[in-house]
């Protein structure tokens, strides 16, 4: 039995704070449990009542001989702690805390919430909420919530961080005819969070599609691990809000969650096969499609229409979404030509013409769906004199049975005259839309899911980097820097860190006097570059802190003196550590890589076009380090224009792409091994036809280990 199973299929439920008074939440919950047809034992708990809705009332949870499988708590916030403690003492393991007045109301509430969490830990209890609407399962059936109404039975689990959203969706779904397996209201997510319920929905046999509305995730890497596993079995579709600056502000004032950056979420979803819906409408269009249709094997769509204009609109939309118009086989075309009128368009979109009756639709659909070059079908119907929307709807249901592996969608473009046909489609399990673009967007979502899954199915087990990394050297350098009261490493230190992880860096050493500088240069070989060694001086060139192309001992000595003079003149109060001597490297293709950190998902890896125009061109792709594979890194490269350069733009020799991938893998490993690296920038790296060289490396560490989930 799954860990959370008793939240959905308990045999006994107690409601603490049950009430006799209609309109009170404690009344609504008991009423909902009874009316949902729950077959188990229901125990209202209230110290002052004898009977509620025909059930005999227990005075306290501690009075029961056996703890109920599930306890719903709906008492004033001030009493919640005591009640939860009683639950713990009574041996209760599963709690739904409806009560509000916790983290969402500020610091006092947060204190109260922390106490609940402590009790859950102490007694080993699982808690949904607090500040939630409750939980529903249509298959049990059970409605342990105070929401009005109970969803139709279906195969979609909806997990919502917003109670109002859950209530709105429930109301909407009853009109739209969409069925659900579960409704889960996360509330403040003090103990159980989205990841727990996604994992459980993943193993629930009644759930085929998992829908989430979230404003944040509690533990980034845990979410990623779970989502990656679950999305291999069933689609997870997420509407994530709070992605804008202002939205994040609103999210903070709403549930007190610190919103993660949008970029990190985008990456997390992409890397785990989660589909992100861009709007509520898309969320539900995708839900109804996944709930009823198989995932198409590919992106080739066949369109059958009784009117030209909508056919063109749909073709545009299919292309704009990056899907393909299927190209029919010769046999299909021949068959269509034999039977369709001469003016009909036989190629995709097939125009069966305005005077098409259902027979023409049926014949065409049968031929087109049988074609191996077709992965999914979309039927467009405009109301004309001889159109029979009902018959064509029934035809589509037949086709779904006949071609079970090919998803089918309908755009019934009109109003009242098509309502009956729409109803037949919806009830029969074919997504029916008013406008064709909605159908195309749904197909796109399904195709994307298929592609994401194909990506995840690849072997991601290859370890990023073979074991040849030298953690000790890195630790020693960090230690020295911190003892020096520095969080930004010197260039020479950063290069040693890079080399310790196998990232080829241009040789660079710190000189403390002109003679040392000359010796270093002699050992390195000329020409060299001299740079002032001071992490505080940012635009070194502008203050005469850099001398390039130094060709002999004399030039190096002079450069040292000149640089130190300039630095001391411009920055009399800034610590200067000396001058760093770096070997001048031959010019290569300039790229950039680096590390940044997201509060929820940990380190992010960047790759892009390097050089002075980085900020202008912003040609950079990102991935989260957690779970990153070499194949992901290759994808990451391919997303950028820099990739065209690496492959050899305009006839130039290609660069060593494998070496670039290896170095990014090593940067990723470094990021994962050392969470104390808060930022790393390598700009530029020169990529050569063979190998590469990191020219300018900047590493910032945080003085304390951040609180991360590793």
Please report whether residue 176 would count as binding a copy of itself according to CB under 8 A. yes
Minimum distance, C-beta of residue 581 to a copy of itself, in the bound complex (Å): 26
Kindly identify the residues of this chain, within the stretch 252-291, that bind a copy of itself according to CB under 8 A. 253-255, 278-281
- Figure out which of the listed residues 21, 41, 60, 244 binds a copy of itself, where binding follows CB under 8 A: 244
Cβ at position 651, least distance to a copy of itself in Å: 8
**Nearest distance from C-beta of residue 685 to a copy of itself, angstroms:** 18
Nearest CB to a copy of itself, comparing residues 278 and 402: 278
Site for a copy of itself in 592-621 (CB under 8 A): 612-613, 615-617, 619
Distance, in Å, from the CA atom of 598 to the CA atom of 572, rounded to the nearest integer, reads 36
Contacting range for a copy of itself; rule: CB under 8 A; set: 87-95, 308-316, 366-374, 630-638 = 308-316
In 569-619, the DSSP E strands lie at 579-583, 589-598, 602-609
The 129-148 contact track toward a copy of itself, x by CB under 8 A, reads: -------------------x
One residue of 4, 159, 198, 318 binding a copy of itself per CB under 8 A:
318
**In this structure, are residues 133 and 150 in contact, taking their beta carbons and an 8 Å threshold?**
no
- CA 62 vs CA 12, 257, 441: distances in Å: 15, 34, 54
Q: How far apart (Å, rounded) are the C-alpha atoms in residues 682 and 695?
A: 7
Residue number, 295 or 333, with CB nearest to a copy of itself: 333
Question: Taking CB under 8 A as the rule, does residue 99 contact a copy of itself?
Answer: no
Q: How far is the CB of 395 from a copy of itself (least distance, A)?
A: 19
Shortest distance, CB of residue 552 to a copy of itself, whole angstroms? Answer: 28
59-79: string of b/e by CB count within 10 Å (b at 16+)? eebeebeebbbbbbbbbebee
Q: Are 607 and 668 in contact (CB under 8 A)?
A: no
Judged by CB under 8 A, the residue of 37, 76, 82, 309 near a copy of itself is: 309
The count of residues in the chain is 710
Residue 110 · residue 103 · CB < 8 Å: yes
Of 159-167, 194-202, 395-403, 674-682, the segment contacting a copy of itself by CB under 8 A is: 159-167
Tell me whether residue 97 is exposed, middle or buried, using C-beta atoms within 10 angstroms of its C-beta: 0 to 12, 13 to 18, 19 or more.
buried
Distance (Å) of CA 286 to CA 70, 212, 442, 446: 32, 12, 5, 8
Residue 291's φ and ψ, nearest 5 degrees, are -70, -25
Non-local (6+) Cβ contacts of 479 within 8 A are none
Residue with Cβ nearer a copy of itself (316 or 471): 316
Shortest separation between residue 245's beta carbon and a copy of itself, angstroms: 7
Site for a copy of itself in 502-561 (CB under 8 A): none
Beta strands 41-45 and 12-16, pairing class: parallel
Q: Which residue in 681, 679, 676, 666 sits closest to 708, CA to CA?
A: 676
**Of 213 and 674, which has the nearer Cβ to a copy of itself?**
213
The answer to whether 322 contacts a copy of itself (rule: CB under 8 A) is no
Whether 61 and 86 have beta carbons less than 8 Å apart is answered as yes
Q: Say whether residue 198 binds a copy of itself (CB under 8 A).
A: no
- In the complex, minimum distance from the CB of residue 390 to a copy of itself, in angstroms, rounded to a whole number: 15
d(CA 327, CA 569): 73
310 binds a copy of itself, rule: CB under 8 A: yes
User: Judged by CB under 8 A, does residue 657 bind a copy of itself?
Assistant: no
Distance CA 709, CA 704 (A): 15
Tell whether residue 448 is a contact of a copy of itself (CB under 8 A). no
Shortest approach of a copy of itself to residue 22 CB, angstroms?
11
Please state the closest distance from residue 101 (CB atom) to a copy of itself, in A.
9
d(CA 185, CA 188): 9
Query: Which residues within the stretch 390-419 sit at the binding site for a copy of itself (CB under 8 A)?
Result: 413-419
Site stretch for a copy of itself (CB under 8 A), options 60-68, 318-326, 528-536, 698-706: 318-326
Q: Which stretch binds a copy of itself (CB under 8 A): 378-386, 478-486, 669-677, 698-706?
A: 378-386
The terminus-to-terminus CA distance of the chain in angstroms comes to: 28
Secondary structure (DSSP) of 454-516: HHHHS---S-SS-S---HHHHHHHHHHHHHTT-SBPPHHHHHHHHHHTT--B--EEEESSHHH
- Cβ proximity to a copy of itself, 282 vs 493, nearer residue: 282
> CB-based burial of residue 346 (10 Å sphere; 0-12 exposed, 13-18 middle, 19+ buried)?
middle
- Applying CB under 8 A, does 373 fall inside the site for a copy of itself? no
* Residue (48 or 618) nearer to a copy of itself, CB: 618
Of residues 347, 471, 548, 552, which one binds a copy of itself by CB under 8 A? 347
Interface with a copy of itself: number of residues (CB under 8 A): 85
Interface positions, 18-47, toward a copy of itself (CB under 8 A): 23
């Amino acid at each position: 039995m799954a860990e959370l199973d008793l939240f959905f299929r308990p045999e006994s439920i107690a409601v603490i704070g049950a009430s006799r008074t209609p309109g009170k939440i404690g009344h609504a919950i008991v009423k909902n449990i009874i009316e949902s047809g729950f077959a188990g034992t229901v125990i209202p708990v209230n110290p002052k009542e004898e009977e509620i809705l025909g059930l005999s009332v227990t005075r306290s949870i501690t009075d029961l001989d056996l703890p109920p499988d599930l306890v719903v708590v709906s008492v004033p916030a001030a009493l919640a702690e005591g009640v939860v403690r009683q639950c713990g003492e009574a041996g209760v393991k599963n709690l739904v805390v409806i009560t509000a007045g916790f983290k969402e109301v500020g610091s006092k509430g947060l204190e109260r919430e922390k106490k609940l969490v402590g009790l859950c830990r102490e007694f080993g209890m699982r808690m949904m909420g607090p500040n939630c609407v409750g939980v529903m399962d249509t298959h049990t059936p059970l409605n342990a919530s105070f929401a009005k109404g109970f969803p139709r039975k279906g195969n979609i689990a909806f997990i919502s961080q917003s109670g109002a959203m859950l209530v709105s969706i429930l109301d909407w779904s009853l009109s739209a005819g969409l069925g659900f397996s579960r409704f889960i209201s996360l509330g403040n997510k003090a103990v159980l969070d989205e990841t727990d319920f996604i994992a459980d929905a993943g193993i629930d046999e009644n759930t085929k599609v998992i829908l989430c509305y979230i404003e944040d995730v509690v533990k980034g890497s845990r979410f990623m691990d779970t989502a990656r596993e679950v999305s291999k079995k069933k689609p997870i579709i997420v509407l994530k809000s709070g992605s804008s600056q202002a939205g994040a502000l609103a999210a903070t004032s709403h549930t007190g969650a610190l919103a993660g950056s949008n970029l990190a979420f985008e990456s997390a979803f992409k890397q785990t096969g989660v589909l992100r819906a861009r709007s509520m409408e898309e969320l539900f269009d995708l839900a109804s499609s996944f709930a009823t249709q198989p995932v198409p094997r590919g992106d080739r769509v066949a369109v059958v229409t009784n009117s030209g204009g909508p056919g063109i609109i749909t073709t545009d939309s299919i292309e704009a979404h990056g899907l393909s118009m299927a190209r029919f086989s010769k046999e299909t075309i021949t068959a269509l030509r034999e039977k369709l009128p001469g003016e009909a368009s036989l190629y995709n979109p097939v125009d069966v013409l305005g005077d098409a009756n259902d027979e023409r639709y049926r014949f065409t659909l049968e031929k087109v769906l049988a074609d191996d070059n077709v992965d999914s079908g979309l039927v467009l119907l405009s109301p004309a004199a001889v159109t029979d929307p009902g018959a064509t709807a029934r035809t589509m249901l037949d086709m779904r049975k006949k071609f079970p592996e090919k998803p089918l969608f309908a755009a019934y473009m009109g109003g009242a005259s098509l309502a009956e046909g729409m109803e037949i489609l919806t009830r029969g399990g074919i997504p029916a839309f008013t406008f064709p673009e909605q159908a195309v967007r749904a197909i796109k979502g399904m195709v994307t899911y298929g592609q994401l899954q194909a990506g995840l199915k690849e072997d991601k087990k290859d370890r990023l980097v073979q074991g040849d990394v030298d953690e000790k050297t890195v630790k020693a350098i960090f230690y020295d820097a911190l003892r020096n009261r520095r969080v930004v490493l010197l260039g020479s230190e950063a290069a040693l860190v890079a080399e310790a992880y196998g990232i080829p860096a241009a040789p660079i050493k710190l000189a403390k006097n002109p003679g040392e500088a000359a010796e270093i240069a002699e050992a390195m070989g000329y020409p060299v570059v001299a740079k002032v060694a001071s992490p505080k001086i940012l635009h070194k060139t502008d203050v005469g802190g850099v001398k390039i192309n130094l060709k002999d001992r004399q030039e190096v000595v002079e450069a040292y003196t000149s640089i130190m003079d300039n630095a001391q003149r411009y920055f009399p109060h800034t610590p200067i550590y000396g001058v760093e001597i770096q070997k001048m490297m031959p010019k290569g293709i300039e790229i950039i890589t680096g590390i940044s950190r997201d509060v929820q998902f940990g380190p992010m890896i960047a790759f892009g076009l390097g050089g002075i125009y980085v900020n202008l061109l912003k040609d950079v792709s990102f991935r989260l380090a957690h779970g990153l594979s070499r194949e992901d890194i290759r994808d990451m490269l391919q997303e950028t224009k820099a990739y065209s350069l690496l492959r050899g733009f305009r006839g130039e020799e290609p660069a060593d792409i494998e070496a670039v991938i290896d170095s990014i893998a090593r940067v990723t490993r470094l990021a994962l091994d050392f969470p104390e690296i808060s930022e790393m920038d390598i700009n530029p790296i020169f990529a050569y036809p063979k190998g590469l060289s990191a020219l300018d490396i900047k590493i910032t560490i945080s003085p304390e280990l951040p609180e991360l989930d590793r």
